[in-house]
Structure 1
Amino acid sequence: MNKLVGFLILSVLAFSCRAVTAEDLFGSQTLGVLPPQFAYDASEEATSSGMQRMMLPSEEQIPEPIAEPLSTPLSAGDFDPNPVDYAEDSFRSFDCRPALLESTGTWLRRGFWYAEADAVIFARTFNANEVILARDFDTIVVGGLKNTLAIDGSSCAEGAPRLSVGRFLFRDHENRDHAMEFTIFGGGNYGQDSQLEGGNLVMPNNIANGNPSFDSAQRMSFDYTTWFNSFELTYNVKQRMQKDRMELEPSGHWVRRAQPSNTNAFLAGVRYFSLDEELNINAFGIPDGNGDGDNETGNYLVQTGNHFIGTELGVSHAYETARWSITGKIKGGMYLNMIHLKSNFDVSGNVTSGSTDLEGDNLSFIGEGSLIGRWHLRPNFSIRTSLEVMQVTGVALAPYQVDFVPSGSPYIGKNGDLFYLGGGFGFESYW
């Protein structure tokens, strides 16, 4: 019994010493001001042991966090339409959303694919003057000039659609986007027609070349049509805008804005370009010379095909902002032009006839320039308008192949030059 009582007394003493030691250790490690949730509460007394103990605030004593509405960018600013959600972030900076930790310059051109579509209207010029096919020597108009049947060297404007589709490949260490792009352009027909009636229609010497032709016809007409198609596959390297900025407005709102930037772009690729033309000349009332009164009719059909293949290079410079941009672009290259000429003329009654079927090659040049303005409705969708020029040299044009050689043309006229001037309107989108 005495041993049991002694054991109980020793146990009580050991427990008391441990409580005192823990209290002293805690006090030595928390000298100074303690965080509120770990403050030592000395106002409450311990139980029957007579010792003070550390009191932690109960869950009812911890104040609940106050839910505050997060600040959002102003609707009138250039803000990110997909902001990061900070609803569960207890961190607050200036009582509003904090700035993002990164700024990547991705305000525009967001996506792996993109498409550009334009409706381009071009005025086509191949001769500053006219290509005269016939004159009426029996009729003189005001000023002493004779009536003429001529092909206008500057035809009226025609439309041609253009579509480009590109795929983003990667972004390099200089913050440039690399992409492959395919462009289809063309399809519009440029055409004109006219006719002339008179008592003595005569073809110029530079066309008839002293050969029997449609001279002395009473009426002549022509129908001239031309069209082009272009297919391009290019590798594009485009600089991006500078890093976006997070700006704190006086109202306490953080707004993400794009920095106005000057950017450059480069392209290199291959191109196939085709230019086809058809000229159909008809004559009526050609005297047959036998005095029977049965006049003859004549027809001259010329078809030319120019098929260009080669490489091209291009550069562009742009000034870009969050809402609009303006870009100057030029590109061009030397091409192998594979030409096919096919023509045939005849006068009824086997008075005269001839046909030609020739092929030849020529070295040609195609160059383009444009000034493009964009208005960004959204970071990934823009409308655009442009002023554009295109020059094509070293081509076989149908009006320059008319010669009335009975045995057929011995050569192809390859010295034609084309100049296109116009503008376009369209849109571009990224996804």
Structure 2
Amino acid sequence: MTRNFDIVVVGTGVAGTAIAKGCRAAGLDVAIVDELPYGGTCRLRGCDPKKVLRAAAEPVAAMAQLGEVGIFAEPAVPDWRAMMGFKRRFTDPVTPSKETSLADAGIVMLHGTARFVSPDAMAVGDAVLQAGHFVLAAGSRPADLPIEGADLLLHSDGFLDLERLPRRVALVGGGYIAMEFAHLAVRAGAEVTMLQRGVRLLAGFDPDLVDLLVERTHDLPVDVRVGTAVTVVERTADGYRVHADQEGRSLRFDADLVVHAAGRVPNLGGLDLEAGNVAAGKRGVEVDGHLRSATNPRVFAAGDAAASGMPLTPKASHDAEVVVANLTGRAGRRVDYGGMPSVVFSLPPLASVGLQEEEAARRGLRFRVNHAVTGDWFSARRLNEPCSGHKVLVEEGTGSILGAHLVGPHADEVINLFALAIRHGITADRLAETPFAYPTGGADVASMV
């Protein structure tokens, strides 16, 4: 059976849903397809459930820190099963709500794996979909790991749906997923080990602030091992044994659960891109500044599926706006990822926007660096949180903020002020003279610039 549409969208996450609805509102015939439950990674298997579970860890962290000054005698441990029940209040309604919304918009919904059968057609099961344009917004999946016994690892999706948290948890990876899971699991009472192949954790963030967070993570305590490549995972009588190599030295770690927290890659494997004449690399579909495929003009890509920008939810939302504009008669809209913040939702959080110091220097920019460790500032001391600091890059002459990097209480919110400044050209002087409410995290900004 062959069906004809103006637009076929693959993926029902942030980007895919917004693109389908935007194109349908412009009067186009739209179909959307997903091989997983409708809703996408962020709402169902990533950002939202992670942040909900973090809500249970936040009071535990606060009680532990304030317990050090005698306010709480015995910090509580959250009930993991109750945490999961609370999380499902957010995730369970997503799929039915999404499907109702799409149906109400007049969008044809298909369930299954989409694959190209030619540059101008896709198949979903027995149905062949021909369209003027295709949009690939299939999100991401856990990366493949070159580890013997990799099939024994629980993927990050599964960790966010665990019915019971085991006592000993080993996390393979050293990026934001591993760091966030470590802070969550240790606050929930687990013994946590992080095993990172590289010599640094959180490679995409400012190294000086990462060092502060890693020191804090050690103190929780989390056993953090860098330069430690996992080679084999095997099942034992009472759990799992992880074998690793650290500079030629063989190490072993016993655990009740081993989690794949080593990052995600674009979910493009089942699309048969070659049949669609769609070029892609490790970062996703190769696209131009309009998010159009570099090799097939019928195809656009957005969100994690596109090899452009960082794999972030705000980026997916921005991509959706660009694709809709280019598909509905407003051709020429280009992406602009300036001022796109990213956050590691550890406790405390680590946040970044704009250029890092090394990149700004490599570009030949002239700038000053305002860098300080601020555990003695009021905003940190009132929570007895020693891990606090910032690094802000300000261009000489113009006063433009080139980059801002924060760790500590409220960093995940304060970073948005710097994102606003970078995005809209608000100089450091103008930011510093803005009266923010006191005492709040925002009130610290004047002292950071």
Question: When the two structures are superposed, what TM-score results if normalisation uses the length of structure 2?
Answer: 0.20
Larger radius of gyration: 1
More helix by share: 2
